[in-house]
Amino acid sequence: MVSVKKIVFRLLYKERSLLCLFFVFLPIFFLTSCGVDFKTRGAEALRIEDYARAIQNFSFALDRAPMDRDARYGLALAYYGEAEVAEKLGIHPLDLWSKAHDEFRILARVDSSHKADAMHSTCLFYLARASVFQNRGAKVLGILDESIALDSANYYSYNLKGLMLQGLGEGEKAKDIFIFIISKDPEFSSAYSNLGNLYWEEGKIEDAWDVWSMGRDKFPNNDHLKYWTQIAEDSLKAKVLSENL
């Protein structure tokens, strides 16, 4: 015969077990039945530049549906935005750019529209630049080539590639890149500075002056171009005077 004591114990044990299950499944029940939309929350956080919460919510959404294109894109943008904030503070957050790149890379596997290619290309430029800031000897040409392949009009990546090639002693290749940038985007002021610098280092003062003065005329408020155009001009004048002596 089962005693009353045993019956009470069983009831209490059963209630305690049910109570434990209730608390285990309560968060899941709440999130699924109360209409919580992590993507919407993530998008709202992203809109007000609350990147930490955007990352959190888009990550939750991807935990439930890893193939969700919109959540993946949102997470990539959230990491990108957080990295941009750090850049404005003078920090070059290699880890954040790397995370953004990872999300863009995964996004490309679930979305064949290529709509995010330009943003991914820009992310790769920043990733390469952050790598160089952290380690001057970082090998980033592969990253920059990938960036350019995603967006052939990303002249920032071309420009950084030119600088890296120059540092590796590939002056002619660097020169070709800077000339290419100027021919495609005459408003890219850094290319004038960098091309002029290359000519100057080679002792081609007149060529350097030609490029710098061209840039100075286009960008009259650019201090670097103004300064070096004047330096080159003074050098050319001094050369003429010495030849006439």
Name which of 145, 153, 197 is nearest 175 in CA terms. Answer: 197
- Give ∠ CA 156-58-100 in degrees, rounded to 5: 20
Please state, in angstroms and rounded to a whole number, the distance separating the CA atoms of residues 228 and 197.
Answer: 9
Name which of 30, 33, 29, 84 is nearest 54 in CA terms. Answer: 84
In tens digits, the chain (245 residues) has pLDDT values of 433 333 333 433 344 443 343 343 444 444 443 336 999 999 999 999 999 999 999 999 999 999 999 999 999 999 999 999 999 999 999 999 999 999 999 999 999 999 999 999 999 999 999 999 999 999 999 999 999 999 999 999 999 999 999 999 999 999 999 999 999 999 999 999 999 999 999 999 999 999 999 999 999 999 999 999 999 999 999 888 777 65
Please state, in angstroms and rounded to a whole number, the distance separating the CA atoms of residues 165 and 123.
Answer: 20
* The model scores a pTM over 0.85: no
Predicted local confidence at residue 125, as pLDDT: 98
Question: What tokens appear for 87 in the block?
Answer: 């850049």
Q: Quick check: 61 and 71 in contact, CB under 8 A?
A: yes
Predicted local confidence at residue 89, as pLDDT: 94
Architecture of domain 38-112: Alpha Horseshoe (1.25)
Q: How many CB atoms lie within 10 A of CB 91?
A: 13
**20-45 residue pLDDT tens:** 433 434 444 444 433 369 999 999 99
Predicted local confidence at residue 36, as pLDDT: 61
Please state, in angstroms and rounded to a whole number, the distance separating the CA atoms of residues 239 and 205.
Answer: 10
The domain limits of the chain are 38-112, 187-245
